[in-house]
Structure 1
Amino acid sequence: MPDRQRADARRNHARILAVAEEEVATHGAGASLEQIARVAGVGSATVRRHFPTRRALLEAVSRQRIELLCARADELASEDDSRVALLSWLGDVVTYCVEARGLAAALSYEGAEPGSVYENTCSAMMEKAGDPLLRRAVRDGAVTEGVTVADLIALIIGITSAAEHHPDPAARAERLFRLAVTGLSPQPGR
């Protein structure tokens, strides 16, 4: 947001974002933009001026968690075991996606137009953060070559979406994640 923005516009932006965080936490990615505007005490046009698309709003709501996940990837880069580092980070992504309703939608490429000003910056940040962990795990033979961070994020989005309405979404997402990591076949020695 430009520093030259008027004080009332900055206040509106902050108020809309605070209300949006609460609404998304309660109602998920489908939170009503009109309800957000009403609770924030602004018109729908003001919400759309600050956040021209639902994706832009979800990304703004998710920004702090995305930054924490990126910092976590940096921390794990020094872990001795590349597989443990990657799986720890992915486990954190699963946990955050379950805890922060709307985060999985913010990471999804659904509805993002390539080359658009509103292209998916959350996913781009996550891909950049996770890439060193993944490249190291591939190099060490701990992950199959050709897997991308985008693949892994898509898998997590699917897992957290499938678990969202389960009575215990965190436990269900964790189980599905572990199943995805270990596969269906029994592996000797593991």
Structure 2
Amino acid sequence: MKKFKSIEESQLTITELMLPSHSNFSGKIHGGHILNLMDQIAFACASKHSSNYCVTASVNKVDFLNPIEVGELLTLKASVNYTGRTSMVVGLRVESENIRTGEKKHCNSSYFTMVAKDENGKSTPVPGIILTCKDEIRRYARSIIRQKEGRNRTSRFSTNSFKTEDYLELLAQSNSKIELKD
């Protein structure tokens, strides 16, 4: 196994025509179909980088920015943004293109954390990535910060440390009604 790999070695792009069978009741492409495609390309990118089977550990923030129409071409781009010991963060960008007009829309960006597995299903080390420009350094640093913020968010709202009184003012300004039973 190589100790480090360039980002380009595992980058992938797929393009697929969006069919009526991919649509929801309003005639737009179903979000679940898009998520399935995103998971597939994240798997392929991470597996290519690690030379191992990979599993999805988490998906960070999925915002559907623009609807995707039947008949449009959907392009998904995947790139390893971060490598840990056995995990990788794969950055994804989803764009649609109207075949008739050539208009392109950014539909989604997301980050999938993938973990490499060996033939026994155990987590296995992955090669690091070689950072060659400021954008790659920015993406790598952003992944580190995102992980730290996620850990802080999780611990701040754990059952053992959460203090209701710290959040009552926040909830008072929301569309909720508190009727505590205990």
Higher strand share: 2
TM-score (norm 2): 0.25
Which of the two has higher C-alpha Rg? 2
Indicate the structure whose relative CO is greater, using CA pairs within 8 Å and at least 6 residues apart. 2
